[in-house]
Amino acid sequence: MDAASASFGGRIRAAAEAGTPLRLRGGGTKDFYGGEPDGEILDTRACAGIVSYEPSELVVSARCGTPLAELESALRANGQMLAFEPPHFGAGATLGGCIAAGLSGPRRAAAGALRDFVLGVRIVDGRGRLLSFGGRVMKNVAGYDVSRLLAGSLGTLGVLVEVSLKVLPRPVSECTLQLEMPQSRAIEAMNRWAGLPLPVSATAWQDGVLLVRLSGAPSALLETAKRLGGERTEGAGMEQFWEGIREQTDGFFSGADPLWRLSVPPAVPPLELPGVQLIEWSGALRWARTSAPATAVRAAAHEVGGHATLFRGDRSAGVFSTLSPALARLHRELKAVFDPAGILNRGRLYAET
Amino acid sequence: MVAALRDFLPEPSVLWHEEETRPYECDGLTAYRHVPMVVALPDTEQQVQRVLQTCHAMNVPVVPRGAGTGLSGGALPLGDGVLLSMAKFMRVVRIDPVARVAVVQPGVRNAAISDVVAPFGLYYAPDPSSQIACSIGGNVAENSGGVHCLKYGLTVHNVLRVRGYTIDGAPIEFGSEALDTPGYDLLALVIGSEGLLAVITEVTVKLLPKPQCARVIMASFDDVEKAGNAVAAVIAAGILPAGLEMMDKPATRAVEEFVHAGYDLEAVAILLCESDGSPEEVEDEIARMKAVLEASGATRLSVSRDEADRLRFWSGRKAAFGAMGRISPDYYCMDGTIPRKRLGEVLTFIAQMEKKYGLRCPNVFHAGDGNLHPLILFDANDRGELERTEQFAAEVLEKCIEVGGTITGEHGVGVEKIDQMCVQFGSEELEVFHALKRAFDPKGLLNPGKAVPALSRCAEFGRMHVRGGKLSHPELPRF
């Protein structure tokens, strides 16, 4: 056990014995996300650095405190990327926080989610044990897939000491098409195109305008642009636009009303909610800025087979959709496997009961 | 047990005479056999629920089985247990071409999904070699892969939702038709859990648009290491091939005699490197691939001109296992994954093991993702050969762990690699696995004895995972 994981282990064991809640925190850029953080801060940033990176193996391993920006620039220097385009939500974002939050960006519908790229983790769990799951290879089915279980667990099961990820080559070229159309037609178009072999790597609709990003060989982009129509743009301006969606710096995301994230089957028609909406992921992700009561927003997502998360706003009434009793029981039991004293990031995912 | 099952299952759905249960004695790993006490063949979800409730109440273990093509003994029956066959669940429940999903029952064959959605220009991406026979339920249980994983992922990347029952008969659903669900990612936990956590009765798979075209390059190399470096060079050049496979000379020879794919018999190793996409993209990528392969020292290159050519190039690779059956009474297929850069070292090690054990071992390799399938040729009628084969395989798997890889890339642990789990994982990780199992199945009745070894078994096995100079579970006695 190296010094950093040993120090996590010692701190967690002592906290477990004393019953002291711990709040795992890297750069604090996602403090707003999930349930209200609670407990003494356990800062993960000292445990940092890329442990191994072999571009030709398409695998990178890094410690939890590694700044996400540093990791991404190391990949960029080798023509590679985190294909799930995780949001940073601030300059201090760390790899550990990124994996714990489990959030993916604009390329998700085309390339896969964060959890799809997690190959292995080393964690210190709520008993102070250093555990290792998965590995640094692309295909590995030995043992239960605990690595992916940890992705998006919001630090409730353990500290992610080190994470191994699959990385992908950056596209040779990209461009964005801009088409004017109302929401219902945009949803239809996004789904139709997703069912065709086209190099669509991201979509975003708001306020009557659909933006479609294409990634791949220049010849393929040219062909596709001709076929889909619209105004074609590329370069810094477009990169800034997608950055604005990914980092939520786009004007849509500012405003007084709470921001809701509705994850739904992609082809469902426009959701009837007051306020404004922005659609990503070929229709599967609907952002809503709405003053509608939480019950109404949750019902709108539930009725079509999805779920709603209060992304930004007053979180006192709960952030995530309620689980079925069977799943809620499994959540409690899994939490107890890794954190029997219930000290890690209490209430960040669901209220402890 | 039979009487209890006959309470709600018709006579032909409960097998217990030996002549009826014998066909279920093994799966694709025929070296391990056990005749089950009873075989239950339900055809409704309610019947599955009743089977589980009954076994749970009577404390009888249950082994779920799909098509029985698994290669790690995951569906090996228990002599005192019920074999729960899902073979009758063959219905495609719903296809939604707009949302690009299909809802299927677990007994639907992998290839049948792609067939039935083909009219919509869609397909289901994971394509294990056994895809014409293996069923999606088994694919989910094993997290099956195939030859296109590097670009399109494994089962876990292509399944959105799974419905089933836990051992007590309680219905449970993981995932949804949205791209994520709230809370822990239990779908990822259940996929690849080898039938230990739940019995699957319905699966929603993701469908992808079929690429407009695909072409494959066949490249010859006079040295295995060079071929390995060529693979690394292709990827370093920013290319993500749709398929990237390697075969060594003994494997090429064996399949060429069988299918006449036109392989270069002089080559020490051949690579198959596929590009898919629009015609423009493919043309572009093939040119880039060719340049890299040439620069990496390929001695011969041919590019498929049409679909017939392409299928012929692949026919040898896809028939590799079958071809071994022609040159040897039996073969034993391994499934380790290694970091690609260690390929040369591992192949040299395998060559040494061939000498040590006096057995031949051709190699086929999912080169793009590091998944190695050495095939040990042996004769099961020779008791000594079978034992030597098992020792050979164990040494290779442990070598895979030593170089930073894993004992199974896509076939699962089952009963076959259970001892090597003691080497790959420490006792604390194994304890976590057992605790996860208990959360789903406190009595340990669902597929017991598979996938995760008991700690006492690891102690007996005697080759422990040593971490930081400290032996795992020192509290246990050694044998």
Residues of A in contact with B176 (CB under 8 A): 265, 305-307
How far CA B239 is from CA of A33, A169, B164, B287, B344, in Å, comes to 36, 7, 39, 11, 22
Label residue B467 by pLDDT band (50, 70, 90).
very low
Q: What is the 3-state secondary structure (H, E, C) of A217-261?
A: CHHHHHHHHHHHCCEEECCHHHHHHHHHHHCCCCHHHCCCCCEEE
In a domain, B476, yes or no: no
In a domain, A271, yes or no: yes
Q: Which of A153, A169, A186 minimizes the C-alpha distance to A277?
A: A186
Residue in A with minimal Cα distance to B231: A56
Cα B107 to the center of its chain, rounded Å: 17
Mean pLDDT computed over every residue of chain B: 93
Residue in A with minimal Cα distance to B469: A1
A76 and A202 co-located in one domain:
no
Model ipTM?
0.97
Q: Which of B93, B36, B71, B236 minimizes the C-alpha distance to B141?
A: B71
Residue A316: predicted pLDDT? 84
B447: tokens are: 């597929």
B61 and B99 co-located in one domain:
no
Indicate the burial class of B301 (C-beta count within 10 angstroms; 0-12, 13-18, 19 or more): middle
- Give the mean pLDDT of B119-127: 97
Residue in B with minimal Cα distance to A129: B428
Phi, psi for residue B330 in degrees, rounded to 5 = -140, 155
B133 and B159 co-located in one domain:
yes
Residue in A with minimal Cα distance to B288: A217
A247 and A150 co-located in one domain:
no
- Give the mean pLDDT of A324-343: 97
B153 and B252 co-located in one domain:
no
Cβ distance of A58 and B235 shorter than 8 Å: yes
Angle at B7 between CA B1 and CA B10, to 5 degrees: 100
Mean pLDDT computed over every residue of chain A: 96
Q: How distant is the Cα of B161 from the closest Cα of chain A, in angstroms?
A: 12
Render pLDDT for B67-115 as a digit per residue (tens, 0 to 9).
Answer: 999 999 999 999 999 999 999 999 999 999 999 999 999 999 999 999 9
A90 and A22 co-located in one domain:
yes
Residue B468: predicted pLDDT? 41
**Residue indicated by tokens 């073969």:** B331
Closest residue to B157, CB basis, from A116, A132, A199: A116
B399 and B345 co-located in one domain:
yes
CA distance B82 to B130: 25
Count contacts between A and B (CB, < 8 Å).
Answer: 258
B461: tokens are: 């096995």
In a domain, A347, yes or no: no
Closest residue to A139, CB basis, from B171, B337, B439: B337
Mutation target vs B (from A75, A81, A138; most B CBs, 10 A cutoff): A138
Cα A237 to the center of its chain, rounded Å: 24
Cβ distance of A137 and B184 shorter than 8 Å: no
Residue B147: predicted pLDDT? 86
Residue in B with minimal Cα distance to A217: B281
Q: Is B450 helix (H, G, I), strand (E, B) or coil?
A: coil
The answer to whether B442 and A330 are in contact (CB under 8 A) is no
The answer to whether A152 and A114 are in contact (CB under 8 A) is yes
In a domain, B171, yes or no: yes
Q: How distant is the Cα of A338 from the closest Cα of chain B, in angstroms?
A: 8
Point out the domain boundary residue: A105, A140, A169: A169
Residues in CB range of B22: below 8 A, 6 or more apart: B35
In a domain, A353, yes or no: no
Render pLDDT for A261-274 as a digit per residue (tens, 0 to 9).
Answer: 999 999 999 999 99
Residues in CB range of A6: below 8 A, 6 or more apart: none
Residues of A in contact with B284 (CB under 8 A): 217, 219-220
CA distance B476 to B169: 35
- Give the mean pLDDT of A207-236: 94
Closest residue to B432, CB basis, from A116, A146, A192: A146
Angle at B263 between CA B259 and CA B269, to 5 degrees: 125
A208 and A148 co-located in one domain:
no
Domain span holding position B193: 92-209
Q: How distant is the Cα of A343 from the closest Cα of chain B, in angstroms?
A: 17
Residues in CB range of A350: below 8 A, 6 or more apart: A35, A320, A323, A328, A331, B183
The answer to whether A101 and A24 are in contact (CB under 8 A) is no
Cβ distance of B436 and A334 shorter than 8 Å: yes
A160 and A220 co-located in one domain:
no
A252 and A159 co-located in one domain:
no
Residue B469: predicted pLDDT? 40
Cβ distance of A145 and B339 shorter than 8 Å: no
Cβ distance of B432 and A197 shorter than 8 Å: no
Looking at residue A269, the DSSP 8-state letter turns out to be P
Instruction: Write down the H helix ranges in B425-472.
Output: 427-440, 455-461
B423 and B407 co-located in one domain:
no
Q: What number of CA atoms fall less than 13 Å from residue A141's CA on the CB side?
A: 30
Cβ distance of B171 and A326 shorter than 8 Å: yes
A12 and A145 co-located in one domain:
yes
B76: tokens are: 């090996």
B178 and B281 co-located in one domain:
no
Residues of A in contact with B154 (CB under 8 A): 139, 141
Cβ distance of B191 and A196 shorter than 8 Å: no
- Give the mean pLDDT of B272-291: 94
Residues forming beta bridges with residue A177, ordered by sequence position: A212, A232
Residue B465: predicted pLDDT? 44
CA distance B337 to A120: 14
A105 and A15 co-located in one domain:
yes
Phi, psi for residue A258 in degrees, rounded to 5 = -60, 150
Mutation target vs B (from A144, A174, A191, A281; most B CBs, 10 A cutoff): A144
Residue B139: predicted pLDDT? 97
In a domain, A337, yes or no: no
CA distance B353 to B396: 8
Residue in B with minimal Cα distance to A125: B432
Render pLDDT for A268-303 as a digit per residue (tens, 0 to 9).
Answer: 999 999 999 999 999 999 999 999 999 999 999 999
Cβ distance of A153 and B150 shorter than 8 Å: no
Cβ distance of B189 and A135 shorter than 8 Å: no
In a domain, A329, yes or no: no
pLDDT > 70: percent of chain B: 96
Residue A236: predicted pLDDT? 87
Indicate the burial class of A52 (C-beta count within 10 angstroms; 0-12, 13-18, 19 or more): middle
Closest residue to A195, CB basis, from B121, B154, B468: B121
The answer to whether A201 and A111 are in contact (CB under 8 A) is yes
Label residue A1 by pLDDT band (50, 70, 90).
low
- Give the mean pLDDT of B197-202: 98
Whether B459 has a pLDDT exceeding 70, the answer reads yes
Phi, psi for residue A335 in degrees, rounded to 5 = -60, -40
Q: How distant is the Cα of B423 from the closest Cα of chain A, in angstroms?
A: 11
Cα A315 to the center of its chain, rounded Å: 19
In a domain, A342, yes or no: no
Mutation target vs B (from A104, A114, A140; most B CBs, 10 A cutoff): A140
A42: tokens are: 């356990």
Render pLDDT for B142-183 as a digit per residue (tens, 0 to 9).
Answer: 999 988 999 999 999 999 999 999 999 999 999 999 999 999
Q: Identify the weakest region by mean pLDDT among B94-98, B278-282, B441-445.
A: B278-282
Label residue A203 by pLDDT band (50, 70, 90).
very high
Cβ distance of A139 and B236 shorter than 8 Å: no
In a domain, B103, yes or no: yes
Residues in CB range of B345: below 8 A, 6 or more apart: B403
The answer to whether A130 and A123 are in contact (CB under 8 A) is yes
Number of independent structural domains in chain A: 2
Residue A353: predicted pLDDT? 54
Domain span holding position A225: 173-312
Closest residue to A140, CB basis, from B197, B337, B468: B337
B336 and B397 co-located in one domain:
yes
B182: tokens are: 């709230």
Q: How distant is the Cα of B146 from the closest Cα of chain A, in angstroms?
A: 10
Q: What is the pTM (predicted TM-score) of this model?
A: 0.95
- Give the mean pLDDT of A93-116: 98
Q: How distant is the Cα of A120 from the closest Cα of chain B, in angstroms?
A: 11
Cβ distance of B192 and A326 shorter than 8 Å: no
Residue B466: predicted pLDDT? 44
CA distance B50 to B340: 47
Residues of A in contact with B211 (CB under 8 A): 197
A299: tokens are: 């019902």
Residue B146: predicted pLDDT? 86
A8 and A143 co-located in one domain:
yes
Closest residue to A307, CB basis, from B96, B178, B212: B178
In a domain, A330, yes or no: no
Indicate the burial class of A324 (C-beta count within 10 angstroms; 0-12, 13-18, 19 or more): exposed
Q: Which of B77, B279, B155, B408 minimizes the C-alpha distance to A135?
A: B408
CA distance B180 to A306: 8
**Residue indicated by tokens 């089915």:** A141
Point out the domain boundary residue: A111, A141, A169: A169
Cβ distance of A148 and B468 shorter than 8 Å: no
In a domain, A107, yes or no: yes
Cβ distance of A148 and B189 shorter than 8 Å: yes
How far CA B107 is from CA of B110, B126, B133, B412, in Å, comes to 9, 16, 10, 19
Point out the domain boundary residue: B191, B209, B227: B209
Cβ distance of B369 and A137 shorter than 8 Å: yes
- Give the mean pLDDT of B474-479: 43
Angle at A197 between CA A194 and CA A203, to 5 degrees: 35
In a domain, B339, yes or no: yes
CA distance A25 to A22: 9
CA distance B9 to B144: 31
Q: What's the sign of the alpha-carbon dihedral B195, B423, B338, A171? A: positive
Cβ distance of B153 and A116 shorter than 8 Å: yes
A119 and A196 co-located in one domain:
no
Mutation target vs A (from B162, B334, B406; most A CBs, 10 A cutoff): B406
Residues of B in contact with A157 (CB under 8 A): 184
Whether B350 has a pLDDT exceeding 90, the answer reads yes
Residue in A with minimal Cα distance to B431: A337
CA distance A51 to B267: 37
The answer to whether B27 and B76 are in contact (CB under 8 A) is yes
Q: Which amino acid is at B314?
A: W
Phi, psi for residue A7 in degrees, rounded to 5 = -70, -40
Domain CATH code at residue A54: 3.30.465.10
In a domain, B479, yes or no: no
Closest residue to A265, CB basis, from B99, B181, B433: B99
Cβ distance of B172 and A349 shorter than 8 Å: no
Number of independent structural domains in chain B: 5
Residue A261: predicted pLDDT? 98
Cβ distance of B280 and A135 shorter than 8 Å: no
Render pLDDT for B129-153 as a digit per residue (tens, 0 to 9).
Answer: 888 999 999 999 999 998 899 999 9
In a domain, B30, yes or no: yes
A228 and A298 co-located in one domain:
yes
Cβ distance of A115 and B188 shorter than 8 Å: yes
Whether B451 has a pLDDT exceeding 50, the answer reads yes
CA distance B376 to B251: 11
Cβ distance of A220 and B280 shorter than 8 Å: yes
Domain CATH code at residue B76: 3.30.43.10
Q: Is A158 helix (H, G, I), strand (E, B) or coil?
A: strand
Whether B476 has a pLDDT exceeding 90, the answer reads no
Q: Which of B278, B161, B288 minimizes the C-alpha distance to B211?
A: B278
B247 and B356 co-located in one domain:
no
Point out the domain boundary residue: B67, B85, B103: B85
Q: Kindly provide the b/e burial profile for residues B233-268, where b requires at least 16 CB atoms within 10 angstroms of the residue's own CB.
A: bbbbebbbbbbbbbbbbbbbbbbbebbebebbeebb
Point out the domain boundary residue: B262, B294, B321: B321
Residue A2: predicted pLDDT? 77
A226 and A156 co-located in one domain:
no
CA distance A268 to A287: 14
Render pLDDT for A146-197 as a digit per residue (tens, 0 to 9).
Answer: 999 999 999 999 999 999 999 999 999 999 999 999 999 999 999 999 999 9
Residue B462: predicted pLDDT? 63
Cβ distance of A141 and B142 shorter than 8 Å: yes
